[in-house]
Structure 1
């Protein structure tokens, strides 16, 4: 346990530069006294680090010192190679960089961990897009990614669902998100923070640099956005009767035999009409009346079409 903590402490100093004992203690979730002992142990092992007292003090490594990644555990090495998505990196123009980084990482690993990493790539493949949807083929993904990286605002032309369908506005791209094979850019604009599908971008012209607002967290924003999206998605409710198989498919309380009634959230009459028809005879809609009538009319039309 301590060996792992010592490696983590060393990597923290290598990646972040000078850090105080208090900062290291918070990162490592140990006491400041423990940090002092760990620093002494590293120094005794020949690691070139030094500390300075005072307001601007702290510990740091001698300039130019780098450690090899021999502190990686087997699980950590496997995760590093499993987490890499070659297709995603290529879309962002980083395919060659990813390949080079993996070669360097593999070279830095001990022989046993190199073998584990190789087996991961032989046996696991991460394919982000869904079955029934193609991944983005947007010519503007690379420019958007470059603007996100360089913190440059942009003049955006965008095609949306509602009128006016085509809009143009100045935006400040804060980050990119890949969700189910589609890229989304989170950007600040005249109406606050908005989310745009990259494949709907018609034009993207970089402008001046900008500063991201203090406290903005991309992951936190995205989680809030998804929660709001789901809340807006299911705005209605339907009363249905289900067979045991129907209950299983809708994820409601199962029934051992016979039919059971349940109330399920629906996005809209149109959406529920299509979704419930796919369930065939495992579901009967009782309410709302408009949805029941729509499904009954469709069933009658189908019966006429397939009649002898």
Structure 2
């Protein structure tokens, strides 16, 4: 079934390509192709350096090889909100209808229950949902490998004009990002809501063979967090503060703090290392814990916390 679906979706493939994709031997591919032919599947081979296996034009298989869980997961994977933002809402709906029609009766009812029982809501609580006006056009440029020219507002609120090769889109916690590069340059990340003007150019480009969107985003995310929190603070946490780490500091910072935490002392307090962005930012973040957190290091932050506590006491005294 996997071999059949590969030929159906990719067209002509050599025995070696099929073997590598399916992680089997070439001999196994030969045997399975013979089995498909014996079962009435119109698969044939072209000989020569440009040859390979392919299906007779127009042949499509019904999805009778899907398990119940696989059929259900396909409907769960379709996110209607993001698809609509990309201009693909109607396409997704049509694809789901075709998939439903292709499923055998015993799976159709189970797959149809997914939308009744599960709903994917991407943005976090109390976050304004971004609806970038240029998202659909950028997505079309990504899909068709068309160059774009954007006017972009950077973090310092300065505006720049960039000619880019759009390589991919990422949806992170309700925010859309464009991964693109200048011609012959290195890929960079752009927040699409900061695109002020867009022109899709007539020029096309060749995608770099070595570029992998998932790997790029994983490396970028790790580097971004390290750059965002370049310093550390040593703190003492009460049991309450330890429980509130994720609520006040966010998941990634709280995780690193918990991983570094010592065992509880006789009063239930722990010592931990907390990543911080800067002394000023840390003062605002850590002061939210009140008397349930004590800064031990660096001394500059400890002094700043003491001065803030004194100023607050003067206001309410």
TM-score (norm 1): 0.91
Equivalent pair of 2:262/2:271 in contact (CA under 8 Å):
no
Which sections of structure 1, spanning at least 5 residues, go unmatched?
1-6
Structure 2 residue corresponding to 1:255, chosen from 251, 264, 267: 264
Deviation string 1:4-61 (CA, Å, 9 cap, x unpaired) is xxx1111111111111222111122122222222111111111111123332222111
Aligned counterparts of 1:11 and 1:39: Cα–Cα separation in 2:
12
Structure 1 residue corresponding to 2:119, chosen from 125, 128, 152: 125
Task: Report the alpha carbon displacement of residue 82 of structure 1 after superposing the two structures with TM.
Answer: 0.7
Matched with 1:291 is: 301
Equivalent pair of 2:233/2:275 in contact (CA under 8 Å):
yes
Aligned counterparts of 1:196 and 1:210: Cα–Cα separation in 2:
19
Matched with 2:193 is: 199
Task: Report the alpha carbon displacement of residue 254 of structure 1 after superposing the two structures with TM.
Answer: 4.5
Aligned counterparts of 1:88 and 1:205: Cα–Cα separation in 2:
22
**Where in structure 2 are the equivalents of 1:83-94 lying within 5 Å?**
83-94=77-88
Which sections of structure 2, spanning at least 5 residues, go unmatched?
246-253
**Where in structure 2 are the equivalents of 1:208-223 lying within 5 Å?**
208-223=203-218
Q: Which SS does the other structure have where 1:203 is aligned?
A: strand
Q: Which SS does the other structure have where 1:59 is aligned?
A: strand
Matched with 2:250 is: none
Matched with 1:162 is: 156
Q: Provide closer, same or farther for how the CA distance between residues 118 and 136 of structure 1 changes in structure 2, counting only shifts above 3 A.
A: same
Aligned counterparts of 2:137 and 2:50: Cα–Cα separation in 1:
39
Matched with 2:249 is: none
Aligned counterparts of 2:182 and 2:135: Cα–Cα separation in 1:
19
Aligned counterparts of 2:18 and 2:7: Cα–Cα separation in 1:
9
- What number of residue pairs does the alignment pair up? 300
Structure 2 residue corresponding to 1:186, chosen from 165, 179, 196: 179
TM-score (norm 2): 0.88
Task: Report the alpha carbon displacement of residue 246 of structure 1 after superposing the two structures with TM.
Answer: 2.8
Matched with 1:3 is: none
Equivalent pair of 1:138/1:199 in contact (CA under 8 Å):
yes
Which stretch shows the higher mean deviation, 153-162 or 292-301? 292-301
Q: Which SS does the other structure have where 1:192 is aligned?
A: coil
Matched with 2:251 is: none
Task: Report the alpha carbon displacement of residue 141 of structure 1 after superposing the two structures with TM.
Answer: 1.0
Q: Is 1:240 the equivalent of 2:259?
A: no
**Where in structure 2 are the equivalents of 1:46-65 lying within 5 Å?**
46-65=40-59
Q: Provide closer, same or farther for how the CA distance between residues 291 and 8 of structure 1 changes in structure 2, counting only shifts above 3 A.
A: same
Matched with 2:223 is: 228
Q: Is 1:11 the equivalent of 2:5?
A: yes
Q: Which SS does the other structure have where 2:113 is aligned?
A: helix
Let me know the Cα RMSD of the aligned residues: 1.8
Equivalent pair of 1:74/1:113 in contact (CA under 8 Å):
yes
